[in-house]
Structures are given as structure tokens and as C-alpha cells.
Amino acid sequence: MKILIGHTNMDLDCLGSLVLGKYLYPDALCVRSRLIHPVAKSLYNLYKTHLDFLPSKELIDCPVDEMIIFDTRSSARVREYFEYLPDFKGKITVYDHHSNDSCDLENAEVISADFGSNTSIVTLLLKEEGISLDPVDATIALTGIFADTGNFTHENVCLEDFRASSWLMQQGASMKLVSQFLKPLKQDYQISLFHQVLNRLVYKNIHGHTIILSYYEMKEQVSGLASIVEKVFEVENADALFVLFGLEKANKTLIIGRSQKETVDVSSILAPWGGGGHTRAASAQLKGKFGEEIYKSFLLSLKRSLLPAITARDLMTDKVDVIRESWSVLDASLFLEKISHTGAPVLNDLDELVGFMTLRDISKARKSRQMKGPVRSYMTHKVHSCSGDASVKELESFFLKWNIGHIPVAKEKKLLGIVTRADYLNYLESR
């Protein structure tokens, strides 16, 4: 007997992989985890009859000799299946896109690709073999790709995810249904809880990182907490978000973390708390621990575990071409033309930052026929500068609020360097 399984607490990408896995292994039986992610649960319930998955508990005494695992290569995430098959010694094949993870499944053959979605791996294998899909299965698979790529906004998205999605639409996948399935907050209580969490947000600058935290106590756990956190993270501009749900009846605390940059690895941060997941999304359950003291302890742990963030000093160019206040506008114009810049900081005789000269300022002098006039008469006197310790978030606000292309980095009027819009964009591209 051959079975197809995914990780426990199956999400939409895992579900999409399993649905398509049936086409690769038509003689295999799909088995579902006893835990299904709330967003995936809604879709699963709608197509329960069509999917016809075997509950994992019914594996007891089944003569399984081959296991195909999707969306994980960790034994801990498929432990529930092996609990029902303690004597399994058969063949294991893994299809997984978490290429940075190590496989601890003994003698498993791993088929891996560094795609944004695991479903994309299976989709492209089916495309290569020329296998046609049922439109319902194509829709479920496309939902999985959209979910795991954050609607194609996550940094791990690659060309293959787009190719896979394009082919699924050719197979009849419905974008209208995909859009409906991906709505995270479908219940009134979820919308209410979303606002409750929003009202309890605490903003912290920890080692230059913008971190948002929220602590919320509940009588008992409800489904869809991760979806609520996702929505909060979507509307808040933070490097990372951690929401702690204190569950009174169960006497435990659930921590859900989300991050938008590699330097804030929420999986590593939550690992000492018994948690796990991905760099950008992870969670932890603290059984037997409840109350605001947990929140305080977690905050202290964050301060210890977070590495200093990138600052203006890291991004700036320290060798800066400057214009002198005593120059004429014509001198400044020729200088900018020579260095092919659109502007430069202006220093006085004491090497103090006193202004900024741009091509726009020079244009004003040219229109007034004052090109031989002094730079000080036409330069911008109000300089939007920052300190070397300014965070990337602060730099971003400068660019957006003041619509400037250069930010001088200074200390007590002494120019240390300059950060350009290109420096900022290069950082976003590389992080």
C-alpha cells in the first residue's frame, strides 16, 4: 500500500501538493493530518467529498510499504503518521521546497527545488509529463501557490512559481475561487479579535529593528489565530510582529511571529521557546505558562537574541563629492556635470554641512540669470540629514516624506557620508 502525506497542521500549500501528488501516484491513497490550518480547513471542508482523504488515525494496521511526503523533510512534522505505523520500514520519497532544511527521515529520497511554493514543484513535474488536471484540483493547487508566496510578494518567489501558476490556469483553475479561499478573516469573531489585537499593539525599537508586539488574554483558543496575525502584519509597517495569546483554560501561551526580513529570523527567535517554522513565519506553544510575565520574559529574550539592524552608517558612501558655499552657481553646475550627480551637500569653510545644492536649484538661478551668484543664495538651506545610527525605517521615511534622493549622514554638522535612493533600493533588493 502506498500513501501520500503532508506535514501536520496542513496548510494550503501542503494541501495543493497532496492534491497534485495523486496525479504522480494514481495508485496511492491521500492521508490527511488530524490538524488542518484554519484557512486550509475552509477549503478542505468545501471539497471534502471530492478529496476523499483518509484520516491519519485510520492508518492503524494498514500494510503501508511506501510513503510519499510533501512540503516537509522533518520527521517531527510527520510524527503523527509514524505513530500509527510504528513498524514502517518501506520506501520514503520527499517533495519539499525548504531547501535550507536538513532531512532527518532515514533513507529518504528528496526531490527539492528552491521555489516559493511546494505545489509549484509538483505542478511543473505534471506539466513536463503532459498530464491534464481536473479544474477543481487545479484551483486547489493554485490557491496553495498563492498562499505560500504571499500572492507573489514573498522574497522566495521565483520564475517557476509563475510558470506553474500559468499552467494551472490553462488547466481551468478559477481565480475567482482562489480569491475567495484566500480571504483570511471570514468569521465575525475573527474580525472582532483582529481589532482587539490592533488596539493592544506595542511598538519597540530593538537594536534598530522596528518590532511590534501584542499580548491578548482569552478564555480558550479559537481557530484562525494565525490568520488574524497575518492580517495585522499586513496592515502594520514593521520589521517583525509577535502576538502572544494567553489561553486561560488551557493554562498556556501561544506565540505567533511574522517577519519581513532575513535578519529577524522568527523561527530562530522562537526556537528557545519550543517553537518552529520558517524564517518569516513561526509559532510556539508554552504549556503551563500563562500571564503577562511571559510577555515580559519574551521581550527580554528578544533584546538578547536580536542582532543590531543595518543603519545609515552601513549603507552610506563615506567619500562624498561636496560643493563649497563660497562657489558660484556656475561652478556648482559645472561640478555636478563633471561628477554626473543631480545634487551634492554644501559645506562652509569650517567643513560644516550648511545646505544642499541640486540641479533644480541651479535651474532657478539660470532662469534669473544669476549663474555667477553665490551658491549660498540658491542652495536648499533646510537639509534633511540623519545620524549614522538611523535605521532603515527612518531612511525610508525620509525618502517618502520629503521626496529627496540624497540623505546626508552627519554628526554635529560634520558630514560623515551620504545615503542615496539607489543605496536604499539596493539594500531592499539584497536583504
Helix (H) / strand (E) element for 307: namely none
**pLDDT class for 208, splitting at 50, 70, 90?**
confident
Residue 172 clears pLDDT 90, i.e. is over it: yes
Instruction: Provide the β-strand partners of residue 96.
Output: 112
pLDDT over 90 percentage in the chain: 74
Contacts of residue 384, Cβ cutoff 8 Å, sequence gap at least 6: 398, 402, 404, 407
Q: What angle do CA 367, 372, 376 make, to 5 degrees?
A: 90
Q: pLDDT class for 19, splitting at 50, 70, 90?
A: very high
Residue 183 has pLDDT above 80, yes or no: no
Strand arrangement, sheet containing 2-6: 54-55, 29-32, 2-6, 66-70, 91-96, 109-112
Name the grid cell of 258: 511574522
**pLDDT for residue 222:** 84
> In the structure grid, which three cell numbers stand for residue 304, read together?
538578547
Average pLDDT over residues 92-116: 92
Q: With cut-offs at 50, 70 and 90, classify the pLDDT of residue 313.
A: very high
370 contacts 378 by C-beta, under 8 angstroms: yes
Q: Which three cell numbers stand for residue 408?
A: 546626508
Q: How many CB atoms lie within 10 A of CB 354?
A: 19
Q: What predicted TM-score, i.e. pTM, was given to this entire model?
A: 0.67
Q: Which fold has domain 313-430?
A: CBS-domain (3.10.580)
Chain-centre distance for alpha carbon 333: 44
Question: How confident is the model over 379-384, as a mean pLDDT?
Answer: 93
- CA–CA gap between residue 265 and residue 276 (Å, rounded): 11
Q: What angle do CA 307, 309, 311 make, to 5 degrees?
A: 145
Categorize the per-residue pLDDT at 431 as very low, low, confident or very high, splitting at 50, 70 and 90: low
Neighbours of 236 (CB within 10 A): 15
Q: How far is CA 220 from CA 71, 191, 354, in A?
A: 30, 17, 60
Residue 185 confidence (pLDDT): 72
Q: Which three cell numbers stand for residue 171?
A: 488547466
Looking at the predicted structure, is the pLDDT value of residue 381 above 80? yes
Domain locations along the chain = 2-181, 188-305, 313-430
Residue 169's pLDDT band (boundaries 50, 70, 90)? very high
pLDDT at 214 over 90: yes
- Which CATH number is correct for 188-305, 3.90.950.20, 3.40.718.10, 3.10.310.30, 3.40.250.10? 3.10.310.30
Give the pLDDT band (50/70/90) at residue 402: confident
Task: Decide which of 3.40.50.300, 3.90.1640.10, 3.40.50.261, 1.10.1060.10 is the CATH code for 2-181.
Answer: 3.90.1640.10
Q: In the structure, what pLDDT confidence band is assigned to residue 147 with cuts at 50, 70 and 90?
A: very high
Average confidence score pLDDT of the chain? 92
How would residue 102 be classed by pLDDT, with cut points 50, 70 and 90? confident
126 close to 27: Cβ distance less than 8 angstroms: no
Own/partner long-range contacts of 263-272 (Cβ < 8 Å, ≥24 apart): 263/209, 263/307, 263/309, 263/310, 263/431, 264/209, 264/211, 264/239, 264/240, 264/306, 266/240, 266/242, 268/305, 269/301, 269/302, 269/305, 269/306, 272/301, 272/305
Return the pLDDT at 42.
85
Residue 334 has pLDDT above 90, yes or no: yes
Cell digits of residue 156: 522566495
CA 217 to CA 285: how far, in whole Å?
A: 14
For the cut 90, the answer to whether the pLDDT of residue 180 exceeds it is: no
At residue 48, the pLDDT reads: 93
The three cell numbers locating residue 345: 551637500
| Beta strands in 207-352, from DSSP E residues, in sequence order | 209-218, 240-247, 252-259, 276-277, 281-287, 323-324, 343-347
